[in-house]
Amino acid sequence: MEKLVFIVDDEESILKLVSQWIRKWGYNTKTFTNGQTMINSLSDEPDLILLDIMLPDIHGNEVLEIIKKKNPHLPVIMLSAQGSVEVAIQSIRLGAFDYFPKPIDSNRLESAIRNAIKNYDLERELKKLKENIQSEYSFDNIITADKKMQETFKMVSKVLDNNITVLIHGESGTGKELIARAIHYNGNRKDYPFVVVNCASIPRELLESELFGHEKGAFTGAHQRKIGKFELANGGTIFLDEIGEMEMSLQAKILRVIQQREFERVGGNEVIKTDVRIISATNIDLKQAVDNKQFREDLYYRLSSFPIYVPPLRERRGDIVILIDHFIKQFNTKLNKNVKGATKQALKLLYDYDWPGNIRELENTIERCMILTDSDYIDVDVLPNNIKGTEATASFKYTSDIFAEDAPIIPFEKLKEEALKHALKVTNGNILEAAKKLKIGRATFYRLMSKYKISPQKAN
């Protein structure tokens, strides 16, 4: 789509000349002889405006202020026959991208227009990206139907627009970072950075530098100044994941940041002020760590001003089914597949499994099953062995029961008939899959179905 440039000037000769230049450079143009008409046409969404300062109806700087109120990022280049430094400075202060005295240098103007439109495209792309991120981490996109999680969300809603420190605790894989992002992107800091630091994954000797930065020469290998995460997160949120893994000496420095909102870089003396909201997370019992002298008590109480508990998946089994459906849709897009769901047999095994790795493990399991399956449904055969274990145990029990010493002898023909019926039930009526599982040919399967008068009924 070609870019549109508005040109506003009360001199027809200027309008004609500049319009010719701009069309030659590959842009569309629309010309105006006064400010008000141009303002009324802003709904046409220009990509740049060339605006003369001396207009017959409204002063150019007043027009500039109106434009910036409607669209702060829309680039405006000012034109003026006055050529004074004061006029140029005032225009730039009001938000003009650039200023050109008349007569206009066409080479300079072309370069300025290209840079301005490029910057505007980047601004719009960044804005769209931010909107997508905020949409992605809205509470509507956190998948749950569980009452416990609804209570968690009620707690989260209370802390969106204040600066209280939040401690999110729960097992690994329960979605603690997702909750932290939801707090940030739904709160009053959403337009500022969200910075993640995993305290367990960074070597202890490097974590201080990672958090606070360092000065050149602070230690071996510090060849230049480095800005730390607390500086990068200024105005926004820093998420300290696995905070319980942080060593005691560094905990004291985190306490200072919380209390005094300041810190120093490693090897430096400059006191750096910071406005950062701290959200931390842990999968260990921090209170127990305090009792064991492994975590500072004063820091624990500072971090846990507002604790939020995220229950494990086994305590909210109702979410397993809707999460499976969600992940299947997600991986259908990623893997270019059209899997419709899971068979009832597979779904029961997935539901009964305790998921020690929680949502992260469930997501990885569904992706693996989606890669392995060639069917329209995820079936038992593609489930990991640790999940199929419950089925294997049940099958063994069934086999043991029918062959027990005191069990009645079942005719062999009856066993074959029951095997066919069971295979059809497990495969949801898929004859080809049932034949594969029984390790017999499809023709043989059809012959036996006819012999025993079995219909290819779907599993009940």
* CATH number (domain holding residue 157): 3.40.50.300
**pLDDT: which is higher, 441 or 195:** 195
Whether residues 176 and 279 fall in one domain: yes
Whether residue 263 is found in the same domain as residue 123:
no
Q: Is the pLDDT of residue 54 over 50?
A: yes
Alpha-carbon gap, residue 49 to 28, rounded angstroms: 12
Judgement on whether residues 205 and 232 belong to the same structural domain of the protein? yes
Taking 90 as the threshold, does the pLDDT of residue 84 lie above it? Answer: no
Q: Are 95 and 165 part of one and the same domain?
A: no
> Tokens standing for 403?
């062959």
Q: Is the pLDDT of residue 403 over 70?
A: no
**The pLDDT of residue 394 is above 50:** no
Question: In this structure, are strands 226-227 and 213-214 parallel, antiparallel, or unpaired?
Answer: antiparallel
**Phi and psi of 410, rounded to 5°?**
-100, 130
| Mean pLDDT, rounded, for 120-148 | 67
Residue 135 has pLDDT above 90, yes or no: no
Range with top average pLDDT, 14-28, 122-136, 197-211, 216-230: 14-28
Q: Do 174 and 110 share a structural domain?
A: no
Tell me: the pLDDT tens digits for 230-272?
A: 999 999 999 999 999 999 989 999 999 999 999 999 998 899 9
E strand intervals along 145-188: 166-169
Confidence check: pLDDT of 406 > 60: no
Q: What pLDDT does residue 397 have? A: 45
Q: pLDDT at position 395, please?
A: 46
Q: Which of 157-171, 192-206, 292-306, 386-400 has the lowest mean pLDDT?
A: 386-400
Residue 235, in any domain of the structure: yes
- pLDDT of amino acid 458: 43
- What CATH number has the domain bearing residue 78? 3.40.50.2300
The reply to whether 341 falls in a domain is no
Chain centroid to Cα 10, Å, comes to 49
Burial class (CB in 10 A: 0-12, 13-18, 19+), 432: exposed
Residue carrying the six token digits 């230690």 = 219
Residue 358, pLDDT score: 92
Q: Are 191 and 107 contained in the same domain?
A: no
Question: For tokens 């100044």, what's the residue?
Answer: 225
| Contact residues for 401 (Cβ-Cβ < 8 A; gap 6+) | 407
SS3 content of the chain, % helix, strand, coil (to 5): 50, 15, 35
**Percent of residues, the chain, with pLDDT higher than 90:** 49
Q: What is the pLDDT of residue 1?
A: 67
Q: CA-based angle 123:15:23, to the nearest 5? A: 55
Torsion angles phi and psi, residue 14, rounded to 5: -65, -45
Are both 125 and 147 inside the same structural domain?
A: no
Return the minimum-mean-pLDDT range out of 112-126, 229-243, 390-404, 425-439: 390-404
247 in any annotated domain? yes
Longest CA span, the chain? 110
Q: Do 303 and 162 share a structural domain?
A: yes
| pLDDT value for 140 | 56
Residue 13 CB neighbours (<10 A): 8
Chosen domain end from 279, 311, 343: 311
Per residue in 119-135, is it b (16+ CB within 10 Å) or e — as a string?
Answer: ebeeeeeeeeeeeeebe
- What are the C-alpha distances in Å from 52 to residues 10, 77, 91, 245? 8, 9, 11, 61
Distance CA 213, CA 226 (A): 5
Surface-to-core class of residue 359, CB atoms within 10 Å of its CB (0-12 exposed, 13-18 middle, 19+ buried): buried
**Residue of 350 and 413 predicted with greater confidence:** 350
Residue 307 shares a structural domain with residue 160: yes
Q: What is the pTM of this model?
A: 0.59
Within-domain flag for 39: yes
pLDDT at 42: 93
SS3 state of residue 299: helix
As a whole number, mean pLDDT of residues 379-407 equals 64
The answer to the question of residue 61 being in a domain is: yes
Q: Is the CB of residue 177 less than 8 Å from the CB of residue 340?
A: no
Average pLDDT, the chain: 86
- Show which of 283, 311, 339 is a domain's final residue: 311
372 in a domain, yes or no? Answer: no
Can you name the residues that pair with 119 across neighbouring β-strands? Answer: none
Pair (107, 151) in one structural domain: no
pLDDT at 393 over 70: no
- Indicate whether 263 and 176 sit together in one domain: yes
Distance between start and end Cα atoms, the chain: 55
Q: How many domains does the chain have?
A: 2
Mean pLDDT over residues 92-108, rounded? 90
Domain check: are 107 and 79 in the same one?
yes
Which candidate, 228, 295, 239, 296, places its Cα nearest to that of 262?
Answer: 228
Q: Is the peptide bond preceding residue 203 cis, with omega within 30 degrees of 0?
A: no
Is residue 436 a part of any domain in this protein? no
> Which residue range(s) make up the domain with 170?
143-311
**Of 220-234, 238-252, 396-410, which gets the smallest average pLDDT?**
396-410
Is residue 317, in this structure, part of any structural domain at all?
no
Which amino acid makes up residue 164? I
